[in-house]
Structure 1
């Protein structure tokens, strides 16, 4: 038990010695600052704040410029895509109209041929009937 108490006392003395040996630099208090030092400190703080604001404004302007350029490119791409889709649709419509016109012409030609054949047949029948 005595050894434990002596060990604890030794540890406590070591901790106290280590804390006493640490160097602590005194910080100048507000009372110790001269008016000139205060003015210099405030001037430095103002300059840092101004520089920070300028940097943030420049960064915001650069981001806005990048966003604008990106939007312009997206609009250009969208316009090209729409124009191509319209052109493709017009070509398809023209092809559909051409095909429909061809079918109508073929039907009209077939009807004309049938009418001609019917007329020729009727004429032959009439001639034969007249001969009889």
Structure 2
């Protein structure tokens, strides 16, 4: 019994498949159009594509302009930062040089004083030795 039911189901499916594969000639909607309508349709399609392309190009140009402006601002900021850093480094270097010069002058003055004091002491020692 099961075999008969299965056979019947298979035959029904095959019949349905054959019916759906039958020659049904349908004319596409495009075949029903006249030549003028086809030209109008194509012209409209071309205009839509042109408009879409123009919008995409305008958007891309706006994005490129924005990116360029951003880059210009970043370069300006970097230049300002670099100029500020250079100025700060120059000020620090000038302060370091001034401090080093002051220390050198102080050391030279101390050495001169020590030499003077040594000379005076030596002169006193010589005078005392001569007096004896």
- Tell me which interval the TM-score lies in, with the shorter structure as reference length: 0.7 to 0.9
Partner of 1:66 in structure 2? 66
Partner of 1:11 in structure 2? 13
Mind listing any 5+ residue stretches in structure 2 that lack a counterpart? Answer: none
What is the CA distance between 1:62 and its match in structure 2? 0.6
Partner of 1:2 in structure 2? 4
Aligned residues: 128
**TM-score for the superposition, normalised by structure 2:** 0.78
What is the CA distance between 1:129 and its match in structure 2? 3.5
**TM-score for the superposition, normalised by structure 1:** 0.78
What is the CA distance between 1:15 and its match in structure 2? 4.5
Determine the C-alpha separation between the residues in 2 that align with 1:11 and 1:49: 46
What is the CA distance between 1:113 and its match in structure 2? 0.9
Q: List structure 1 segments (4+ residues) > 6 angstroms apart after TM superposition.
A: none
Mind listing any 5+ residue stretches in structure 1 that lack a counterpart? Answer: none
Alignment of 1:97-108 (within 5 A): 97-108=97-108
Determine the C-alpha separation between the residues in 2 that align with 1:4 and 1:130: 148
What is the CA distance between 1:53 and its match in structure 2? 2.1
The worse-fitting range, judged by mean Cα deviation, of 68-77 and 34-43 is 34-43
Give the secondary-structure state (helix, strand or coil) at the position aligned to 2:33.
Answer: coil
What is the CA distance between 1:130 and its match in structure 2? 4.1
Determine the C-alpha separation between the residues in 2 that align with 1:8 and 1:122: 135
Question: What root-mean-square deviation, in Å, do the aligned CA atoms of Structure 1 and Structure 2 show?
Answer: 2.6
1:61-119 deviation line (CA, Å, top 9, x unaligned): 11111111111121012112211221232122112212211221121111111122122
Determine the C-alpha separation between the residues in 2 that align with 1:115 and 1:69: 68
Determine the C-alpha separation between the residues in 1 that align with 2:6 and 2:33: 51
